[in-house]
A and B are shown apart, each in its own frame.
Chain A
């Protein structure tokens, strides 16, 4: 019977480089920029276009942009999703857009477009990190 303490494998530690910190941070702030600064031009532009268009379509559909002090747990979750869009969220709040007086049935889709754009940007920032540490080509 093998000794479990001797067979336990430890995960290899990834080196912390400047790029592994900067890429996800700038990727969060500007969707797709985490890939662009690592010279993944096509991926970066596709991510930037997809997330930015999705966010702007959500705003154009009169979607609601959540505030940090929503109170309701669903509002807080909505805020977490929205803030994933980084700079898009900051600019939207600065311009006081996304007030979300829902006037038609598809306006709620707009709210979901904005939330999902933020969540997709979280995924793309994580992907930029994986590229930076060499886990992904």
Chain B
């Protein structure tokens, strides 16, 4: 099997799975786990966009 994801879809999948594990392991209550998981996901995906714009600026 040869799966070829785009850079963005690979980054989003990475963010989803890492955020799930971070949320569960780093917080105690269910509510806190969901909130922290969503926070991590937003930071991962936000970081992708920030890095993308930084690279676009550097390339100009």
Mostly, the B contact residues are helix
Which of B4, B20, B22 sits near A106, CB closer than 8 Å? B4
CB 8 Å contact bits of A41-85 with B (1 = contact, 0 = none): 001001100110110010111100000000000000000000000
Q: How far is the CB of A129 from chain B (nearest CB, A)?
A: 11
Q: Secondary structure of the A side of the interface?
A: helix
The answer to whether B13 touches A57, judged by C-beta atoms less than 8 angstroms apart, is yes
By the criterion CB–CB under 8 Å, are A116 and B25 in contact? no
A120 interface residue per 8 A CB criterion: yes
Q: Does B5 touch A at the CB level, under 8 Å?
A: yes
Q: Which residues of B contact A105 (CB under 8 A)?
A: 7
B29 to chain A, nearest CB (A): 7
Residues 84-137 of A contacting B (Cβ, < 8 Å): 103-106, 109-110, 112-113, 116-117, 120, 123-124, 126-127, 136-137
Contact B21 A137 (CB under 8 A): no
> Which residues of the partner chain B approach A109 to less than 8 Å between Cβ atoms?
5, 7, 10, 14
Query: Given the complex of chains A and B, what is the CA–CA distance between A137 and B29 in angstroms?
Result: 8
Asked whether, in the complex, the Cβ of A116 is within 8 Å of the Cβ of B18, the reply is yes
Q: Which are the 4 A-B pairs with shortest beta-carbon distances?
A: A60-B3, A127-B25, A50-B17, A120-B21
